[in-house]
């Protein structure tokens, strides 16, 4: 392939560099196009625009490939653990046993959240959605950690990573305890990260808590599957906010808000609510399939379709298998699962879904598994956020280390031309 692309505008030719990625992805570098020609490119929703180069995650939506730092998601979910995969995503290499031990020890140093944060949680109504509370609490962490990290100082950056990993998990679970009226509890530094998640969520002061290893292993896998997904909506948000040199907590708080939307991470909650509604109204999955296809009906089949996967979402394949195993091991017989299976079977052979390449995505199955593990529906998107945290951190770190410029898209103005101001009596 040639090294440049030629763009012709009004018989004038402009030569633009072609950039090639390590997996042969090709981009035309238009960063100088406006300087050269006065013209910009327009791409609403960035369907065809790369915002950066990145070494973190490789994704091929046509072939259904997902890799973190060159390792396949199948290998990582099958053989790895969440903290070592987090280390890989953030620092670029799988940790040695000593590095992993050091990482865990350092995360533990930061698992105590300032007691004054409890006053902030107290201010929320019990009915507040956990994602709204999580975004606010993550942002509030800035107030307790006002010193912004010097990204060029390796030690400071490492500490900021550990601090974020430690504190975010605790406040994420506190959002649930708030809705339940449970006392806020503490991380147990003698236990693992994912086991702590379960304890932090469900341990009560009135009785000893017994962790279930099947549940912990399933959650660990789910967190790995969510750890990064290149330039999705929330990650792009984190990079964009961070590009103004806003701090890590502030940027991640913005990512939490972006993730909450039902077209992004909020879909896992929406899937379960959809399945419950189908069950409540008699279990007719085909009726909902028809609704999704009806262009006069805004309803979409939640958990189907993806901006980049035009083939099966590889994460969905792994979760589907894990869901079957976990449900069998825990002995869960859930009518919601039967409805999900029926929906999936019908959609996969339906012309509307087939022609648009709409396959089940990660959120279609994750909700079912979370439900089987006893995670409340309102917390599903928080689970996604916990899993995605290493990806957000890694992308923020990479963006700052690469000294990327402030994110500032342009636009094509389509409003009124210059108008004279008329005083109100003349309008």
Contacts with ligand CMC, residue ranges (CB under 6 A): 229, 232, 263-265, 267, 292, 300-307, 356, 358, 361-363
Q: Which residues of 401-418 are buried (b: 16+ CB within 10 A; e: fewer)?
A: eeeeeebeeeeeeeeeee
Q: How far is the CB of 242 from ligand CMC (least distance, A)?
A: 20
- Distance of alpha carbon 100 from alpha carbon 87, whole angstroms: 8
**Residue (184 or 308) nearer to ligand CMC, CB:** 308
Collapsed DSSP state (helix, strand, coil) of residue 67 = strand
Q: How far is the CB of 128 from ligand CMC (least distance, A)?
A: 22
If we measure between CA atoms, which residue out of 21, 11, 43 comes closest to residue 30? 43
> What tokens does 25 get?
């992805």
Backbone angles phi, psi at 261, to 5 degrees: -60, 145
- Distance of alpha carbon 212 from alpha carbon 371, whole angstroms: 15
Q: How far is the CB of 101 from ligand CMC (least distance, A)?
A: 32
**56: Cα within 13 Å, side-chain hemisphere:** 26
Residue among 229, 306, 313, 350 flagged as catalytic:
306
| Structure-token match 């930061």, residue found | 110
Q: Verify whether residue 416 is a known catalytic residue.
A: no
- Distance of alpha carbon 207 from alpha carbon 191, whole angstroms: 18
> What tokens does 287 get?
């009726």
Q: Verify whether residue 279 is a known catalytic residue.
A: no
- Distance of alpha carbon 106 from alpha carbon 80, whole angstroms: 20
Q: How far is the CB of 372 from ligand CMC (least distance, A)?
A: 20
**Residue (63 or 263) nearer to ligand CMC, CB:** 263
Q: Which residue is nearest to ligand CMC (CB)?
A: 305
**Residue (327 or 385) nearer to ligand CMC, CB:** 385
> What tokens does 22 get?
């390590």
**Residue (232 or 236) nearer to ligand CMC, CB:** 232
| Structure-token match 């951190």, residue found | 393
Which residues are bridge partners to 60 per DSSP?
A: 65
Backbone angles phi, psi at 5, to 5 degrees: -115, 145
Q: How far is the CB of 174 from ligand CMC (least distance, A)?
A: 24
**Residue (85 or 347) nearer to ligand CMC, CB:** 347
For strand 12-20 and strand 4-9, is the pairing parallel, antiparallel, or unpaired? antiparallel
**Residue (303 or 390) nearer to ligand CMC, CB:** 303
Residue among 363, 378, 420, 425 flagged as catalytic:
363
Q: How far is the CB of 398 from ligand CMC (least distance, A)?
A: 19
Give me the active site residues, please.
306, 363
């Amino acid at each position: 392939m040639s090294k440049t692309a030629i763009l012709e505008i009004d018989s004038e030719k402009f030569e633009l560099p072609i950039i090639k990625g390590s997996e042969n992805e090709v981009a035309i570098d238009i960063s100088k196009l406006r300087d050269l020609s006065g013209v910009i490119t327009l791409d609403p929703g960035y369907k065809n625009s790369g915002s950066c180069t990145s070494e973190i995650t490789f994704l091929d939506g046509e072939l259904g490939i997902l890799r973190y730092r060159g390792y396949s998601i199948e290998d990582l979910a099958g053989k790895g653990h969440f903290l070592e995969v987090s280390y890989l995503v953030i620092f670029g290499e799988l940790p040695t046993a000593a590095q992993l031990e050091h990482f865990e020890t350092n995360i533990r140093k930061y698992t105590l959240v300032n007691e004054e944060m409890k006053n902030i949680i107290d201010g929320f109504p019990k009915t507040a959605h956990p994602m709204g509370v999580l975004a606010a609490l993550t942002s509030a962490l800035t107030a307790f950690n006002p010193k912004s990290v010097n990204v060029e100082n390796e030690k400071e950056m490492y500490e900021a990573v550990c601090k974020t990993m430690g504190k975010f998990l605790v406040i994420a679970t506190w959002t649930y305890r708030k809705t339940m009226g449970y006392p806020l509890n503490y991380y147990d530094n003698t236990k693992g990260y994912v086991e702590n998640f379960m304890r932090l969520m469900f341990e009560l002061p009135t009785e000893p808590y017994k962790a279930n290893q099947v549940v912990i292993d399933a959650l660990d896998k789910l967190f790995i599957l969510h750890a990064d997904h290149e330039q999705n909506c929330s990650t792009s948000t984190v990079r964009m906010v961070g590009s103004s040199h806003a701090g890590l907590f502030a940027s991640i708080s913005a990512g939490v808000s972006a993730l909450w939307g039902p077209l992004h991470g909020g879909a896992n909650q929406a899937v379960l609510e959809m399945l419950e509604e189908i069950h409540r109204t008699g279990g007719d999955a085909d009726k909902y399939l028809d609704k999704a296809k009806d262009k006069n009906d805004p309803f979409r089949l939640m958990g189907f379709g993806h901006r980049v996967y035009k083939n099966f979402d590889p994460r969905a394949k792994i979760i589907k298998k894990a869901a079957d195993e976990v449900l069998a091991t825990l002995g869960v017989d859930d009518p919601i699962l039967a409805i999900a299976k029926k929906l999936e079977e019908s959609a996969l052979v339906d012309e509307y879904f087939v022609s648009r390449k709409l396959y089940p995505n990660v959120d279609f199955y994750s909700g079912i598994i979370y439900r089987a593990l006893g995670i409340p529906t309102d917390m599903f998107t928080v689970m996604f956020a916990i899993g995605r945290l290493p990806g957000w951190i890694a992308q923020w770190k990479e963006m700052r280390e690469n000294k990327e410029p402030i994110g500032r898209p342009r636009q094509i103005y389509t409003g009124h031309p210059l108008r004279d101001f008329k005083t109100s009596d003349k309008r």
